[in-house]
C-alpha cells in the first residue's frame, strides 16, 4: 500500500487509467468481432461500415495512448485484408 500522498495519488490515477484503457480495448474487440461476423455472413457492405468504425476506434485509442501507433497500424491492416478477402 502507498505510504505517502504522491504515491496514493499515483495509485488512484493508475487505477482510473487502467479502467479507461480496459473500456476502450473492450469496445475495439467488440467492433472487431462485428467486422468478422459480417465477413462470415458474406455481407460486404456491413463489413465495410463496421470496419470504418473499428478503424476510428483504434485511431482514437492511439491518441489516448492505449495503443502504440504501429500496433494500431498492424491491427487495421490485418482487419482490412480480411474485409477485402486478401489471404493473410
pLDDT, position 88: 47
Q: Chunk the chain into consecutive blocks of 10 residues (it has 88) and report each block's average pLDDT, rounded to whole numbers.
A: 89 96 98 95 92 97 97 96 78
> 62 and 27 in contact (C-beta within 8 Å)?
no
Residues 6+ away with beta carbon under 8 Å from 10: 2
pLDDT, position 86: 64
pLDDT, position 85: 85
Q: How many CB atoms lie within 10 A of CB 43?
A: 13
Cα 50 from Cα 84, distance rounded (Å): 13
pLDDT, position 54: 98
Amino acid at each position: 500500500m502507498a505510504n505517502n500522498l504522491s504515491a496514493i495519488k499515483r495509485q488512484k490515477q493508475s487505477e482510473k487509467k487502467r479502467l479507461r484503457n480496459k473500456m476502450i480495448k473492450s469496445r475495439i474487440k467488440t467492433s472487431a468481432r462485428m467486422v468478422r461476423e459480417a465477413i462470415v455472413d458474406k455481407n460486404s457492405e456491413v463489413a465495410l461500415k463496421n470496419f470504418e468504425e473499428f478503424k476510428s476506434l483504434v485511431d482514437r485509442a492511439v491518441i489516448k495512448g492505449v495503443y502504440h501507433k504501429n500496433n494500431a497500424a498492424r491491427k487495421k491492416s490485418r482487419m482490412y485484408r480480411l474485409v477485402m478477402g486478401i489471404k493473410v
